[in-house]
Amino acid sequence: MKLGLGLNIKTLVNTTFSIDNLSGLSLWLKFNTGQTTVDADSDGDSDIQWADSSGNGNDATSTNDVKQGSFSSGAWSSADNSDHLELDSIITLTNAYTIFIVFTVENTSDTFIGGPNTDNFMRFGQGSNAASMRTRHLGATNNLTFDINPSVGKGMFKISRNDDGDELTVTKNSTTVCMEPQTVSTNNFVVGKVPSGASGLADDYLWEVVIFNRAVTDAESALIEADILTRTSLTAD
Q: Is 42 exposed, middle or buried (0-12, 13-18, 19+ CB in 10 A)?
A: exposed
Inform me whether the pLDDT recorded for 4 exceeds 80: no
The residue ranking higher by pLDDT, 152 or 167, is: 167
Inform me whether the pLDDT recorded for 190 exceeds 60: yes
**Length of the chain measured in residues:** 237
Share of the chain above pLDDT 70, in %: 93
Q: What is the pLDDT of residue 9?
A: 45
Angle at 96 (CA atoms; ends 168, 169), nearest 5 degrees: 20
The full DSSP string for the chain is -EEETTEEHHHHHHHT--GGGSTTEEEEE-TTSSEEEE-TTSSSS-EEEE--SSSS---EE---TTS--EEETTEEE-SSTT--EEEEEEEEE-S-EEEEEEEEE-SS-EEEEE-SSTTSEEEESGGG-TTEEEEEETTEEEEEE-SSPPPSEEEEEEEEE-TTS-EEEEEETTEESSSSPEE---S-EEEEEES-SSS--SS-EEEEEEEESSPPPHHHHHHHHHHHHHHTT----
Inform me whether the pLDDT recorded for 165 exceeds 80: yes
CA distance 17 to 78: 31
Inform me whether the pLDDT recorded for 1 exceeds 50: no
Q: Locate the domains of the chain by residue range.
A: 23-31+87-231
CA distance 230 to 235: 7
Mean of the per-residue pLDDT values for the chain? Answer: 88
Q: How confident is the model at residue 15 (pLDDT cuts 50, 70, 90)?
A: low
What is the CATH number assigned to the segment(s) 23-31+87-231?
2.60.120.200
Report the predicted TM-score, pTM, of the whole model to 2 decimal places.
0.90
Q: Which range has the worst mean pLDDT, 8-12, 64-68, 135-139?
A: 8-12
List pLDDT tens digits, range 67-93.
Answer: 888 999 999 998 888 889 999 999 999
Q: What is the pLDDT of residue 66?
A: 66
Inform me whether the pLDDT recorded for 13 exceeds 60: no
Share of the chain above pLDDT 90, in %: 61
Q: What is the pLDDT of residue 61?
A: 92
Overall average pLDDT of the 133-153 stretch: 91
Q: How confident is the model at residue 205 (pLDDT cuts 50, 70, 90)?
A: very high
Angle at 98 (CA atoms; ends 96, 103), nearest 5 degrees: 150
Overall average pLDDT of the 134-138 stretch: 96
